Structure 1
Amino acid sequence: MNRTALLIPHFNNPTGLCASLASIGEVEQIDVYIVDDGSTRVTINEDEVRAVFKAQGALHFLYLPANCGIEYALNTGLEAVLAAGYDYVARLDCDDVVAVDRFAKQVSYLDANPAVYLLGSAVTFFECLPDGSQRDCFTIHQPQTHQQIVRQMHDDNAFTHPTVMFRVAGVREIGLYPLDCKAAEDFAYFWEFVKRYQTANLPEVLTKSEYNDAGISMSRRRQQQAMRLKLLARHFDWRANSAIKLAKASVSYVLPLSVTRALKRGLGIGKWN
């Protein structure tokens, strides 16, 4: 068993799952927990998945009997990781690809910084073109220091979910992903780390994620924005910055996406979404 486990939820996307696993470098020492969230249209071929995985680690397949939602899939995986006794757990989604040494770099940082319990990185979003190729769209550089992260969390998530690695010791204290923040379970979960521990983001792009209008952030925008408001109110600290960010999120919630995108372009504010 390795020190680090990688948690990947899966739903009807074995091609994306294989692409993600194939991107992991051969020298990486990491075990992978794949949690199928009740796929009905396209199921996992375990032999094909094993064939593309070249890293030094074991693959574990967990199957939910029905489609329950990503937070349930994540928690099923976390329970297995907790029971096995890993030091770290990383995240990735199907279709996302990683730098060949992403996990080694994150483990090295966390080993050298024992006070840091949650670590992310910069991320580049790409789109798939009709000819099968990919084109990079934009890169998000999340705040790097804990102080910057705290400020950002009063506006929006300071971590891009598929980029993170966190300590299992933190999971033992905090618990599993919350079930009352659908489409924003990561934002809610990471707030608990930020409140209790030091956190950080690496400046390097260690993960690339697919960007499309079918993603949770787009197809479930209304629900996600409502959960964002809920979380900003939950963590409101009575400072001016917190009040401003809560007001901004309220405006973003009531306006159509086309209007907020126009505001983003016109004002040059990268976090209007």
Structure 2
Amino acid sequence: MNRAALLIPHYNNPQGLLASLASVGVDEAVDVFVVDDGSTRATIDEAAAQAAFRARGELHFLYLPVNAGIEYALNTGLEAMLAAGYEFCARLDCDDLNVSDRIRRQMAFLDAHPEVYLVGSAVTFFDASGDRFTIRQPQTHAEIVRQMHKDNAFTHPAVMFRLAGVREIGLYPLDCKAAEDFAYFWQFITRYQTANLPDVLVKSEYNDSGISLSRRRQQQAMRLKLLARHFDWKPASAVSMGKALASFALPLSVTRGIKKLLGRKDWA
């Protein structure tokens, strides 16, 4: 058993799963837990998955009997990792791609900074049209705390966290559908030091079937709920709430255009 395990939820996307598994570098010392969230239309081909995964680790498959939602799939994987005694959990979604040494670099950072319990990285996004943009999240804990009062300071598929922290704060919350990661990371930043690495360690596909897009209004509603929950009565928090309300009300095409115009993302 390795020190780190990679958690990949799966739902009706076996080809995306193969791409994600193949992206894990051959020299990476990491086990993988694939949790199927009740797929019926397109199920996992375990033999093909084993062939795609070439890293120095074991591949495990867990199956939920019915489609319950990503937070339940994630918690099923976390429970298995806790029971097995892993030290670190890394995240990845189907279709998303690791750089070849992503696991090693994040583990090395956590080993060098024992006070840090959650670390992310920059992420490059792509879609079928060929558009590319990179999100570079704040790097220091103080910057991350400030950002969390505006929006999520971590890109979920690029994080690695200590399972010792999970033992203390518990599993992903179930009351923030489509924003379970934002809610969970709030629990980390209020108890532990956190960080983001400046380098791109994950490449992530975005498309209209993704949770962030197909369930955008629900996600934005949960974002407002979390911003209100952690409201600190500072002017910046009030401004952030106003922006979140506007984002909830405006069409996605409009908010994308505004972000691009204002330089919210680094477009290539």
TM category (shorter chain) comes to: over 0.9
TM-superposed CA distance for 1:60, in Å, is 0.7
Partner of 1:171: 166
Identify the residue that residue 72 of structure 2 maps to in structure 1.
72
Code of the aligned partner of 1:188: A
Give the drift of 1:11.
Answer: 0.5
- Aligned pair count? 266
| Mapped pair 1:53 → 2:48 | no
Q: What does residue 241 of structure 1 align with? A: 236
Provide, for residues 31-81 of structure 1, a one-character-per-residue CA deviation record: whole Å limited to 9, x for no partner. Answer: 100000000111111111101111011111000000000000000000000
Aligned counterparts of 1:107 and 1:244: Cα–Cα separation in 2: 36
SS at match of 1:242: helix
Structure 2 matches for 1:37-48, cutoff 5 A? Answer: 37-48=37-48
| Cα shift readout 1:95-127 (whole Å, capped 9, x = no counterpart) | 111111000000000000000000000000012
2:15 maps to: 15
Name the counterpart of 1:113.
Answer: 113
Amino acid at match of 2:102: R
Aligned partner letter, 2:117: Y
User: Partners of 2:76 and 2:131 in 1: how far apart?
Assistant: 32
Shift of 1:239: 1.2
**Structure 1 residue 216 and structure 2 residue 247: aligned?**
no
Question: Corresponding residue for 1:132?
Answer: none
| Alignment counterpart, residue 232 of structure 1, candidates 217, 227, 231 | 227
Q: Which amino acid aligns with 2:8?
A: I
Establish whether residue 160 from structure 1 lines up as the match of residue 155 from structure 2: yes
Task: Please report how far the alpha carbon of residue 161 of structure 1 lies from its aligned counterpart in structure 2 after TM superposition.
Answer: 0.3
1:5-40 CA-to-partner distances (Å, cap 9, x unmatched) read 110000011111011111111110001000000001
1:187 aligns with 2:207: no
Query: How far off its partner does 1:267 sit?
Result: 4.2
CA distance in 2, matches of 1:195, 1:173: 12
> Are the aligned partners of 2:208 and 2:214 in contact in 1 as well (CA < 8 Å)?
yes
Gap regions ≥5 residues in structure 1: 130-134
Return the alpha-carbon distance in structure 1 between the equivalents of residues 259 and 133 of structure 2: 14
Local SS of the residue matching 1:104: helix
Structure 2: stretches of 5+ with no match in the other structure: none
- Which amino acid in 2 is paired with 1:260? T
Return the alpha-carbon distance in structure 2 between the equivalents of residues 164 and 16 of structure 1: 19
RMSD: 1.4
**Relative to structure 1, is the Cα distance of residues 262 and 30 closer, same or farther in structure 2, using a 3 angstrom cutoff?**
closer
| Partners of 1:124 and 1:136 within 8 A in 2 | no
d(CA) in 2 for partners of 1:17 and 1:146? 32
Cα distance in 1 for partners of 2:211, 2:63 equals 22
SS of residue in 2 equivalent to 1:124 = strand
CA distance in 2, matches of 1:120, 1:45: 30
Distance 1:257 1:128 in 2: 18
SS in 2 for 1:29: coil
Give, as a single letter, the amino acid of the residue that structure 2 aligns with 1:17. L
Counterpart residue identity of residue 249, structure 1? A
C-alpha distance in 2, partners of 1:191/1:34? 25
Give TM-score scaled by structure 2 length.
0.96
